[in-house]
Structure 1
Amino acid sequence: MGVGAGGYAARVPTTKPPTTTPPTSTPTGESRVALVRRARRIDRLLAERYPDAKAELDFTTPLELLVATVLSAQTTDVRVNATTPILFGRYPDAAAYASADPAELEQILGPLGFFRAKARAVIGLGQALVERFGGEVPARMADLVTLPGVGRKTANVVLGNAFGVPGITVDTHFGRLARRFGWTTSDDPVKVEHEVGGLFPRKDWTMLSHHVVWHGRRICHAKRPACGACPVASLCPSYGAGETDPVAAAKLVKTGPPR
């Protein structure tokens, strides 16, 4: 294990973190004030590195974003974006999804994999929107999570990016980096959402999510993080978990849309 420039011993997060954390402690042993300052500094540096960070699913309406997010399970955003122009053109509203012919929808969704299950999910989603929300995507977490196939992660994506309601999207990238950064020890998405949310102003939550996810997709990979090319290496307790040589690390950095 190495030691980051910030003085933190490099370590890989435990696979089974404690279920509770005493209110007076922090994952790294820092004071609460020090943890908040370090976390916000990391976000500022990531914002500088990724000034164009945003949702990587293409959409123009809340419904399009909701459908695209549901379809993104177990596939890539690139594949979803290649499929949705035809999909959105054929099904312009919730009523169209609700009455869709399953075979036709399955054919369109074929490139995404699990197309039968995804066709059923989209039809069910359209039916629920028509029956309970007048065909409109609701702008409240409490309503969104009642829709079939929609959990807090999907709801926060829609709220933050389609309605401007701040939310933290805890996908696999965000959860991994939150633990590596020492912001949490939990692998429970809801706990991660609330613990990390307490470190940042609410107004910053949506962009924080984009910054962290972009960093996880491009540099802080699950298996071979490019520590030597990381803009927040000096602030990361897990520095040394990956390649620290700058030249070798630079070769691990991914550019462009993740595939």
Structure 2
Amino acid sequence: MNKKKRYEILSLFHVNEPNPMIELFFSSDFELLISLILSAQSTDKTVNKITFILFKIANTPEGILQLGIEKLKYYIKSVGLYNTKAKYIIQTSFLLFNKYNNKIPKNRIELESLPGVGRKTANIILNVLFNKKTIAVDTHVFRVSNRTGFATGKNVIKVEKKLMKVVPSVFKKNIHFWFVYHGRYICKARKQKCNICLISKFCEFINNESI
């Protein structure tokens, strides 16, 4: 895909939704971090149902530690991989409380040192909380990037590097959310809604079911 076509696509997304917001509910940096850990292989809707109750009981590192792992498991048991996620949340809360003065680290290396925080989660935190122009690549972003021809790559790291290279700076802050929601609601893994696609005239998709 050429530079002009990419710019047209991003311009359409910008006009349609100039300020896309994350669909996870949170009221503090810590709440966002915990929601993101919970969201791995789970839907935002499920996570929001869990945190609506959990955060009323414990929404700080100290609060989570006081709650304890068994009670934490009880509150998050409806989310996938809840045993592992409970362990990560306890360990991360311990580190934040004891090492970071309850503050979320502002750099990638420290973020990725937290249990349950990988590159995608770190990118989202840097983007949302610290206004960095990082681009997180999840399954939706990966699929939309490859399927449309916007930025192709065999794995998420290659797609992320390609996006960072070809996306104009003015759009880098928002492209993750544009592509996530496009992949979630329009450019689905199956039964794509090409008839109502905002960028259909620029898309280079040719019925590739492997993407």
TM-score above 0.5, yes or no:
yes
Instruction: Kindly indicate whether the alpha-carbon contact (under 8 Å) linking 1:124 and 1:148 is maintained by their aligned counterparts in 2.
Output: yes
Amino acid of the structure 2 residue aligned with 1:58: F
Distance 2:65 2:157 in 1: 30
Instruction: Kindly indicate whether the alpha-carbon contact (under 8 Å) linking 2:85 and 2:116 is maintained by their aligned counterparts in 1.
Output: no
Which of structures 1 and 2 has the larger relative contact order (alpha carbons within 8 angstroms, sep 6+)? 1
Of 137, 141, 166, the residue aligned with 2:133 is 166
**2:122 match:** 155
The verdict on how the C-alpha distance between 1:126 and 1:69 changes in structure 2, with shifts beyond 3 A counting, is: same
Q: CA deviation at 1:174?
A: 0.1
Q: CA deviation at 1:143?
A: 1.3
Of 77, 87, 94, the residue aligned with 2:61 is 94
Q: CA deviation at 1:135?
A: 1.8
Q: Which has the higher helix share?
A: 2
Q: CA deviation at 1:148?
A: 0.8
**1:248 match:** none
Distance 1:60 1:178 in 2: 31
Q: CA deviation at 1:44?
A: 1.3
Residues 1-150 of structure 1: matches in 2 within 5 Å?
28=1, 35-51=2-18, 53-150=20-117
Identity across matched positions, percent:
31
Calculate the TM-score normalised by the size of structure 2: 0.91
Larger Cα Rg: Structure 1 or Structure 2? 1
Q: CA deviation at 1:100?
A: 3.0
Amino acid of the structure 1 residue aligned with 2:165: G
Amino acid of the structure 2 residue aligned with 1:105: L
Alpha-carbon RMSD across the aligned residues, in angstroms, is 1.8
Of 176, 181, 188, the residue aligned with 1:214 is 181
Distance 1:135 1:52 in 2: 29
Moved over 4 A (4+): 239-242
Stretch deviating more after TM superposition (151-160 or 82-91): 82-91
Calculate the TM-score normalised by the size of structure 1: 0.75
Amino acid of the structure 2 residue aligned with 1:96: G
Distance 1:91 1:162 in 2: 20
How many residues of Structure 1 are paired with residues of Structure 2 in the alignment? Answer: 209
Unaligned stretches of 5+ residues in structure 2: none
Unaligned stretches of 5+ residues in structure 1: 1-27, 29-34, 243-259
Amino acid of the structure 2 residue aligned with 1:67: I
**1:191 match:** 158
